[in-house]
Amino acid sequence: MLRPETIGCYIALAQYKIMLIRSLLLPALCAPWLITPAAHADIYVHGNANATGEIRLSNFPADTGYQLLIGESLPDVAVSPTVTAQSVSANNLPFDDAVRAAAIETSLEPALLHAVIAAESHHDTHARSPRGAQGLMQLMPATARRFQVSNPYDPAQNIRAGARYLRELRDLYKGDMSLALAAYNAGPEAVYRYGGHVPPFDETRRYVPKVMQLYRKLAVRKM
């Protein structure tokens, strides 16, 4: 029998995947010739991992080992070591107009977005990580596509998409900003894999407190 805390992790990951699928399919489903009556998608989880240790999720349970998980209606970056609260002051913040526009749209604080940008790229619009993350908020190509970013090095597009993704993660983890930031850095699957906790990766363990420290410093300055 699955433990309640384990089921909670499954639910969070499954909800994220449902949200991801919706965002990818919505443009096509909005076409007039594709409109259909509302459908329902139940998500089931198998009570035991398979031989490789992978968790099995399905919307069509193949045997009695599956349990109903959800009844539903139908990004590995390096932290700049030079970023400090002193180097990012409220009086010296580039791209502030784009940040404030994205903050209004997503109901996130400008200070939080500036802190993420500082930690991700040190406000370098042309930043690119060895793994392919791009721009100010270090969007992975798949994330950029999902949020319809045509140019990930365009500050306004990059900040808007990064803010929308961060808000999505904040909602997924019910306002727990440490988990949202950990997922932004290492991916929601990593948070799920470690039982709904910040993954024990050195980079992520440095990233989360660095962003939170910058965020608090900037917020105190009443941006």
User: What is the DSSP annotation of the chain?
Assistant: ---HHHHHHHHHHHHHHHHHHHHHHHHHHTSGGG-----EEEEEEESS--TTSPPPEESS--STTEEEEEEEE----PPPTT--TTTS-TTS-TTHHHHHHHHHHHT--HHHHHHHHHHHHTT-TT-B-TT--BTTTTB-HHHHHHTT-S-TTSHHHHHHHHHHHHHHHHHHTTT-HHHHHHHHHH-HHHHHHTTTS----HHHHHHHHHHHHHHHHHHHTT-
pLDDT at 26: 45
Asked if the model's pLDDT at residue 36 lies above 70, the reply is no
**Cα-Cα end-to-end distance for the chain:** 49
pLDDT band for position 33 (50/70/90)? very low
List domains and CATH numbers for the chain.
4-73 (no CATH), 96-220 (1.10.530.10)
Tokens of 78: 């390096």
Mean pLDDT for the chain overall: 76
Whole-number percent of the chain with pLDDT over 70: 57
φ, ψ for residue 187 (rounded to 5)? 100, 145
pLDDT at 159: 98
Evaluate whether 79 touches 207 at the Cβ level (below 8 Å). Answer: yes
Q: Which residues does 74 contact at the CB level (< 8 Å), separation at least 6?
A: 38, 39, 40, 41
pLDDT, one tens digit per residue, over 128-152 is: 999 999 999 999 999 999 999 999 9
Q: Which residue type is seen at 135? A: G
Which position among 120, 168, 189, 203 bears the catalytic label? 120
The rounded distance, in Å, linking the Cα atoms of 137 and 179 is: 17
Q: Is 120 considered catalytic here?
A: yes
pLDDT, one tens digit per residue, over 84-115 is: 444 444 556 899 999 999 999 999 999 999 99
pLDDT, one tens digit per residue, over 139-193 is: 999 999 999 999 999 999 999 999 999 999 999 999 999 999 999 999 999 999 9
Asked if the model's pLDDT at residue 66 lies above 90, the reply is no
Query: Which has the closest alpha carbon to 11: 74, 73, 68?
Result: 68
159, 126, 75, 147 alpha-carbon torsion, rounded to 10°: 40
